């Protein structure tokens, strides 16, 4: 991270606005061209399409909670005895009765 090229790349990348990054009419190729067209060499990789997805599940969180000692599990419970876990990625709340 202390290589001078990182600072140069950061400086160039800081010139793009949030609106440009979110503009569906502005392709990634256009963004790369705008930022780096004066550079001597640019290397890119072809990547797959991005999709929004979460791999969380009730079973996964139950397995995680069961790894905690019983005393810590008890501290996590609400007044109804339920442990609530919120996935910050997909904003789903899981009520666990483990």
DSSP 37-77: TTSS-------PPP-------HHHHHHHHTTS-HHHHHHH-
pLDDT in tens, 31-69: 988 998 998 888 878 877 777 788 889 999 999 999 999
pLDDT in tens, 2-32: 788 888 888 998 999 999 989 999 988 899 8
Q: Residue 4: which CATH number?
A: 1.10.287.480
Q: Domain check: are 66 and 89 in the same one?
A: yes
Q: Domain check: are 29 and 71 in the same one?
A: no
What is the spatial distance between Cα 18 and Cα 15, in angstroms, rounded to a whole number? Answer: 10
């Amino acid at each position: 991270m202390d290589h001078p090229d990182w600072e140069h790349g950061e400086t160039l990348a800081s010139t793009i606005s949030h609106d440009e990054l979110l503009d569906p009419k502005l392709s990634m190729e256009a963004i790369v061209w705008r930022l780096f067209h004066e550079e001597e060499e640019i290397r890119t990789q072809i990547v797959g399409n991005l999709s929004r997805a979460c791999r969380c599940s009730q079973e996964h969180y139950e397995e995680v909670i069961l790894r905690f000692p019983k005393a810590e599990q008890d501290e996590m419970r609400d007044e109804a005895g339920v442990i609530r876990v919120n996935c910050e990625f997909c904003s789903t709340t899981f009520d666990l009765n483990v």
